[in-house]
Amino acid sequence: QPISMVDERLLELAKLFKERTERIKDRLIDPDESDDESPTSYLIYVIWLFFVTLAWNWNLWLIPVRWAFPYQTPDNIHLWLLVDYTCDAIYLLDILVFQPRLQFVRGGDIVVGYRGSLNKCHFHFPQYMAFFEFNDRLEAVLSKAYIYRVILTTTYLLYSLHINACLFYWGSDYEGLGSTKWVYNGLGNSYIRCYYFAVKTLITIGGLPDPTTLFEIVFQLVNYFVGVFAFSIMIGQMRDVVGAATAGQTYYRACMDNTIKYMSSYRIPNHVQNRVKTWYDYTWQSQGMLDEQELLVQLPDKMRLDIAVDVNYAIVSKVALFQGCDRQMIFDMLKRLKSVVYLPGDFVCKKGEIGREMYIIKAGEVQVLGGPDGKTVFVTLRAGSVFGEISLLAVGGGNRRTANVAAHGFANLFILDKKDLAEILVHYPESQKLLRKKAKKMLTKDKKPAGEEGKEAAEVIPQRPETPKLFKAALVVTEKSGIKGTFSELKEKRQRSFQEVLVQKNHGAFRMYTYSHHGYTQKYSDTHKYAVTHAH
């Protein structure tokens, strides 16, 4: 028992050393790869941006209120000043501690340091920049960022109404509260009533008293003019936000409608149309897109490789066929993989078809079918399994499919085209040899010799060839005539010939000897329980 525990510990240490060696090897292969940003430092900075944004919004909303409305009095000024000083402390801490530690790009170079960042606009308007930076970072981590954009656009509209309410109270106070029907009469909650006036003015609802003085007329004209443009801009921005949020759904509906229209125009059967609709629905619900390659086509090769490695490498690296191959070859192959969704019952490939693709199961299951009726399930392949590689590598003298493969349920498969694989293997001859060797082993393992099973020992002994009729007739004639010559000598040789059967067992392996007048030859048989010895 202690010895086994020591062995397990040694195996565990060997595994750890191997993993560390792989990490160092990866670093040597790709030394220019930058380190990932620390999640802890990123989270701390986002939280800090939230406090800076909170302080900035406090000043942005309440400074106009304190300027226009009589809410700040000598009795509560100490509370206002306490919050003001707290916000100022946050601003100073942001300028002196956080901003100098940020990296920024200048002329393509990443600059780090206090002196290099003093001239940045962050130090001229730190709160303004922090507000928009916080919004950008928050949208980047939200799964449904369009909801936050709608809230943000609504906040812009409410803030414009807030500023107009403050200006209306200031104008009413300038004219005199309750001096005319147009100004605020001083009754009720001053902010709520002024905000109500701002809503009716900027949204151009109407129903307000007519202005009487020149100041009131000019103020109302400016209000209407600004309200028309501001409200139109807000509505247009809201439409863009909602349109961007539903752009993918709109594209999906357009593709599906066009496909249905096409099938209807050509009178495609209903069961085929239903399968097409099912494919659209499942693909969209499972992936959120119809073709994921469209998202990556604009990215550089390096970024596409990074994404492909993060998404697909864990699956492809577990495929036994590719274990031991060049790592860079696998990376090149990841960029060529195409994802395809198959519906339940769809044939991925059929026996006898020309093999032009290799398949790797990403999700779901497929079944290898056969038998007299073609419905017998030989084996079920699951995620991480690969098939079609024998036909793709053209080993065994052909490239035709050797079995029927159908999707058991919804199956998502990676497809590697034969042309793409050939272009990749040209640059990796060692990996090409290894793949062909593995494919041949798989073919030899799966393909058993015909009639090998159930043979008896007697069947292994080859039957003695029958004596030709002409030879028999010649022997009879020579014997009757008493002539002994060539035929008699041949007969004697045939009589001296014998066939001996030896059954020898040597540690579970059996040998077959064939004797002749020159000696004997030895053959080994691993598939039968008996070996045969022939002598001629």
Tell me, yes or no, whether 371 and 409 share the same domain: yes
The answer to whether residues 64 and 162 touch, using CB atoms and an 8 Å cutoff, is yes
Tell me, yes or no, whether 210 and 150 share the same domain: yes
For the chain, the domain total comes to 5
pLDDT digits (tens, 9 = 90+) for 82-93: 999 999 999 899
The answer to whether residues 126 and 52 touch, using CB atoms and an 8 Å cutoff, is yes
Tell me, yes or no, whether 326 and 431 share the same domain: yes
| Domain span holding position 525 | 459-535
Instruction: Supply 8's token pair.
Output: 């397990």
Tell me, yes or no, whether 440 and 470 share the same domain: no
The answer to whether residues 381 and 365 touch, using CB atoms and an 8 Å cutoff, is yes
Tell me, yes or no, whether 176 and 225 share the same domain: yes
Domain termination residue (choose one: 446, 474, 491): 446
Tell me, yes or no, whether 153 and 214 share the same domain: yes
Instruction: Label residue 116 by pLDDT band (50, 70, 90).
Output: very low
Instruction: Supply 51's token pair.
Output: 């406090």
The answer to whether residues 325 and 428 touch, using CB atoms and an 8 Å cutoff, is yes
Residue 6 lies in a domain: no
pLDDT digits (tens, 9 = 90+) for 12-68: 777 666 666 666 555 555 544 444 455 667 788 888 899 999 999 999 999 999 999
The answer to whether residues 215 and 174 touch, using CB atoms and an 8 Å cutoff, is yes
Residue 63 lies in a domain: yes
Residue 204 lies in a domain: yes
Domain termination residue (choose one: 84, 116, 141): 141
Residue 488 lies in a domain: yes
Looking at 352-366, 371-385, 521-535, which range is the least confident one?
521-535
Tokens 């191997």 belong to 18
Tell me, yes or no, whether 219 and 260 share the same domain: no
The answer to whether residues 295 and 303 touch, using CB atoms and an 8 Å cutoff, is no
DSSP 522: E
Q: Read off the CATH number of the domain in which 387 is found.
A: 2.60.120.10
CA dist 344 and 381 (Å) reads 14
Tell me, yes or no, whether 165 and 261 share the same domain: no
Domain termination residue (choose one: 392, 412, 446): 446
Length of the chain: 536
Tell me, yes or no, whether 522 and 501 share the same domain: yes
Residue 12 lies in a domain: no
Instruction: Label residue 405 by pLDDT band (50, 70, 90).
Output: very high
Residue 349 lies in a domain: yes
Residue 222 lies in a domain: yes
Q: How far is CA 500 from the centre of its chain?
A: 67
Tell me, yes or no, whether 264 and 351 share the same domain: no
pLDDT digits (tens, 9 = 90+) for 187-242: 889 999 999 999 988 877 777 888 989 999 999 999 888 888 888 888 888 888 88
Q: Read off the CATH number of the domain in which 183 is found.
A: 1.10.287.70
Tell me, yes or no, whether 501 and 401 share the same domain: no
Helix, strand, coil shares of the chain as percentages rounded to 5? 60, 15, 30
Tell me, yes or no, whether 137 and 150 share the same domain: no
In sequence order, the 6+-apart residues with CB closer than 8 A to the CB of 168 are 184, 194, 197, 198, 201, 219
Residue 18 lies in a domain: no
Strand ranges, E, within 129-195: none
Instruction: Label residue 171 by pLDDT band (50, 70, 90).
Output: very high
The answer to whether residues 286 and 412 touch, using CB atoms and an 8 Å cutoff, is yes
Q: Provide DSSP, 455-498.
A: --HHHHSPPPPPPPHHHHHHHHHHHHHT--SHHHHHHHHHHH--
pLDDT at 532: 37
pLDDT digits (tens, 9 = 90+) for 336-373: 888 888 999 889 988 888 888 888 888 889 999 988 88
CA dist 234 and 229 (Å) reads 9
